[in-house]
Amino acid sequence: MKRVMIACIFLTSFINVGVVFAQNQMEELVITGTRGEIEVGNVPASVSRVDEDIIQTAQQQLTLEESLKRVPGVFLQNSHNFSQAQRISIRGFGARSAFGIRGIKLIIDGVPATMPDGQGNVDEIDLGSVTSIEVARGPSSSLYGSASGGVINIITEDGPEEAFAEGRISVGEFGFRKYQLKTGGQYEKLNYLLSGSITDLDGFRGHSFVDRNSLNTKIKYQIDEHGELAATFNLLDIPDMGDPGALNAAEVEANRSQGRDRNILFNGGEERSQQRLGLTYRRTLAQGHEILFRNYYTFLDFGNRLPFEGGVPESNGGQVQFDRTFIGGGGQYTYSQEIMDYTIRFIAGFDIDYQQDDRKRFVNLEGGARGELTFDQLEEVISKGFYMQSEFAVLENLQVTVGARFDEIDFDVSDDFLANNSGDDSGSSKFDKLSPRFGLLWDPADWVNLYFNFSTAFETPTTTEFANPNGGGFNQSLKSQVANNVELGAKGRIESKIPLEYEFAVYRIEVDNELVPFEEDGFTGRTFFRNAGSSLREGLEAGITARLFPVLSASLAYSAIDAAYRRYRTTTDNFSGNKLPGIPDQQLHAELRYDSSGGLYSVLDLLYVDSFYANDSNSVESNSYTVSNFQLGYKKELEKWQVMPYVSINNLFNEKYNSNVRLNGGFGRFFEPAPQRNFNGGVSARYTF
C-alpha cells in the first residue's frame, strides 16, 4: 500500500504543476458501443474508451489486461494461462468465470463474440490491429440482452488513404516470440486492412506454453454516398496450449514456477480452430434516418484435456471435444435529429442468434491419450431479442433516455449416449426477460455533465454451466441471474489551464439468483454451478486523465466495491453475509506517459489490487499486490519509413502475486502464480507507399 500512496502523491504533484503550465487540447471522445455514434459525455452511464496509441504500444500485445487495466471498475485475471482464457469482470460481473468470459457482452467490429448462451472469448483478437476498445460498465441488457453485466466493444483499424506495409517482431523471456505483418489502404471505393500474427510462448510456469496463429481481414466498400458494405474475416489456429493448473499455498511457497503434477500427467490443455465471418450493411435514408443490417457466422473446433480420467458411469470424461456453429444476424433503424436546439434520437432493432454444439467427452489417459467415449450430446441455443431506446431533450440542458429489450432464449439438449446410469438426459429449458432502462443527463455547466441511470441485466447459465454433476443433460434446477443497477455520476472536461478529463460514479446493484461455481467431490478439476439466493454490490469509481505538459500525460483509475451475499444457503453451509469471492475491495491504476517531439516515448504504470477471497466460505484469501511496468521506445521517421524499437520491463519491483485465483477450487488448489520481473523488447517498421 505504501507504493500506492507514493504513486498518488507523485501524480497529484504533476497535476498541480500542470494546472499552471499545460495548454494542450484533448480530443472529444466518441463511442459506438451504445448502438450508435455518441460523445462519451452525452451518455447517462459509465463508459470509457482506450485508444490505438495505448493499445498498439502495449508491451507484448498478448492480452486485454495490458489495455483495460486503466479502466475503473474493470478487474482482469489469468493473463498467463491461455488455456483458461482471460477472466474479465466489470463491477463483479464475470468474476465467477472458470473458463472464458462470462457475464459481459463482447463485440468485435459490430459482430458479437459472445455466444447466445453467454460464453465469450477473445482469442481471435490481434491487438496489433485494434484501434479502440470501448467499455460500458454496469448492466446493459436493455440494448444487448443476456450476459450484459457490462459491454466491451472492440474496433479494428480501417485502411488509411495511403497504402502501407508494416512488420513487427517482439521477443522476451519465457520463450516469448511474436511476429506480425499488417497492410492496408484505400483503392477507389474499397478500403481494406489485413493483419496476421504468430505467437509462441513457453510460459513462466511448467506446462503453460501457447502456440497461436491468427489472420484478420477488414474490407469496406462504399456503394454510393448513402450506402456502405463491410466484411470482417478471421482465422484462428491454436494447435496446442498447456494448462499448468492451480496450486495450493504450500506448493506456491515451495516453487512458484511449477505446474500441477496431475496437469502434466494428463497433458492438461486445449486446442482450437476457428473461422469467423461478419457482414454489415449501413444505409442513410432521408436526413436523420439510417438502417443497419448485420449477418455473421462462426465455426469452432475445440478440444480440451482436463487433469483426470473420468470414465463411465459418471459420464464426465476428462477430454472434451465439440464442434460449434454460431449463426446470427439483426437489424436496426436509427432516427437522429436536432429540432430547435433539442436533440432527438430513437433506435429500434432485433437480434436473432443460433448456436449448436456437438459435444463429446472421452476418458483422458496418461499423457493426454484419448480413451473410450463417455458422453455424447447435441446442444442447441436459440436467442431472439427486440429492443427500443429513445433519447430526447426535455430542456436545453436536460436529456432523458428510456429503453427496453425483450429476450427469449431456448436451450435444447439431445442425449446420444445412453450407456451411463442416468439413462436418457435429453431435455430443454426456456428463459425470457424484459430489461428496461431509464437515464437522465443534466449539463449545468460546460465542464460537467451529471447523470442518473437505472439499468438492468439478466444472465442465463451457459451450456457449460448447465452441466449436471449427476449425469448428462442439463441441470434443470438452475435459474437465470437478474441484476438491477442504480447509478449516479459526473463526467466532464476542463480546458482552462490544463486539458483534463474526469469521471466519477457511485452505484448499487442488487442481484438475484447469482450463478456460483463449485467443485463437486469426486470430480477433481471439474467445475459445476448453482444459484445463490441474492447478493448486493455497492461501489465507487473514479478516473482522471490529464495532459500535464505538451510531452507528459498522467492518468488515475480508482475502484472500490463492497460485494456480499445477502442470502446464500446450501444443504450444508450458510454463506449469507459473506463477501463474493474473486472481487477485490479496492483497485488503483496510475500511469505516466512521456512523448517527446523527437520520437522518444516512455510509459511507467502501477497497479494496486486489494486482497480478496477465493471461496464462498471466505476461509481462503488471495493477498493484495502492487505491480509496476516500464516501457521505453523510440519513433523514427525516415521519409516513407517509420521505425520503432522498444524495450519493456514487466513487474519492475519483482512482486510475488497470483495472476489468477480459481474460485471455490477443490483440495486447496486456488492459486496460479504470476511471473516475477521479466524483460521483452522488439521493433516495428512501417513503409507508406
Helix (H), strand (E) at residue 628: strand 625-634
- On whether the CB atoms of residues 267 and 368 are closer than 8 A, the answer is yes
pLDDT beyond 60 at 416: yes
Per-residue pLDDT tens over the stretch 632-685: 999 999 889 999 999 999 999 999 999 999 988 878 899 999 999 999 999 999
Average pLDDT over residues 267-278: 95
CA proximity to 245, closest of 190, 318, 184, 300: 318
Amino acid at 607: L
Average pLDDT over residues 272-298: 94
Which fold, 2-688? Maltoporin; Chain A (2.40.170)
Q: How many other C-beta atoms lie within 10 A of the C-beta of residue 654?
A: 11
- What pLDDT, on the 0 to 100 scale, is given for residue 334? 94
Q: 341 falls in which pLDDT band (50, 70, 90)? A: low
User: Which grid cell is 274?
Assistant: 476457428
- What pLDDT, on the 0 to 100 scale, is given for residue 20? 31
- On whether the CB atoms of residues 573 and 615 are closer than 8 A, the answer is no
- On whether the CB atoms of residues 110 and 328 are closer than 8 A, the answer is no
Q: Note the helical H segments in 195-330.
A: 249-254, 261-265
Average pLDDT over residues 584-601: 95
Using CA atoms, how far apart are residues 427 and 473, in angstroms rounded to an integer?
A: 7
Residue with cell string 492459486: 671
User: Which grid cell is 637?
Assistant: 521517421
Helix (H), strand (E) at residue 15: helix 2-21
- What pLDDT, on the 0 to 100 scale, is given for residue 370? 93
- What pLDDT, on the 0 to 100 scale, is given for residue 426? 82
- What pLDDT, on the 0 to 100 scale, is given for residue 39? 76
Helix (H), strand (E) at residue 211: strand 210-222
Residue with more model confidence, 521 or 485: 485
User: Which grid cell is 252?
Assistant: 506456491
- What pLDDT, on the 0 to 100 scale, is given for residue 498? 80
- On whether the CB atoms of residues 245 and 262 are closer than 8 A, the answer is yes
- What pLDDT, on the 0 to 100 scale, is given for residue 22? 31
Amino acid at 346: F
pLDDT beyond 90 at 19: no
Residue with more model confidence, 124 or 28: 124
Q: 477 falls in which pLDDT band (50, 70, 90)? A: confident
- What pLDDT, on the 0 to 100 scale, is given for residue 30? 62
Rounded-to-10 torsion of CA 657, 303, 100, 194:
100
pLDDT beyond 80 at 313: no
Locate the domains of the chain by residue range. Answer: 2-688
Determine the Cα angle at 404 with ends 403 and 410, to 5°: 155
Residue with cell string 481462503: 620
- What pLDDT, on the 0 to 100 scale, is given for residue 471? 56
Q: Which residues pair with 237 in a beta bridge?
A: 213, 273
Determine the Cα angle at 89 with ends 87 and 94, to 5°: 75
HSE of 309, CA atoms in CB hemisphere, 13 A: 7
Q: 473 falls in which pLDDT band (50, 70, 90)? A: low
Phi-psi region of 597 (alpha: psi -120 to 50; beta: other; left: phi over 0): alpha
Q: What does the DSSP assignment read for 418-457?
A: --STT----EEEEEEEEEEEEEEEEEEETTEEEEEEEEEE
Helix (H), strand (E) at residue 117: none
CA proximity to 101, closest of 147, 48, 47, 153: 147
DSSP letter at 36 equals B
Per-residue pLDDT tens over the stretch 545-589: 999 888 999 999 999 999 999 999 888 889 999 999 999 999 999
Using CA atoms, how far apart are residues 243 and 660, in angstroms rounded to an integer?
A: 12
Using CA atoms, how far apart are residues 13 and 559, in angstroms rounded to an integer?
A: 21
Average pLDDT over residues 39-45: 81
Average pLDDT over residues 65-89: 91
What percentage of the chain carries pLDDT values higher than 90? 67
- What pLDDT, on the 0 to 100 scale, is given for residue 577? 94
Sequence-distant (6+) residues with CB within 8 A of 18 are 498, 546, 547, 548, 549, 552, 554
Backbone angles phi, psi at 142, to 5 degrees: -65, -20
Per-residue pLDDT tens over the stretch 424-462: 778 888 999 999 999 999 999 989 999 999 999 999 988
Using CA atoms, how far apart are residues 555 and 606, in angstroms rounded to an integer?
A: 11
Sequence-distant (6+) residues with CB within 8 A of 168 are 128, 178, 179, 180, 182, 682, 683, 684, 685
Give the N- to C-terminal CA distance of the chain in Å, as an integer.
Answer: 51
Q: 232 falls in which pLDDT band (50, 70, 90)? A: very high
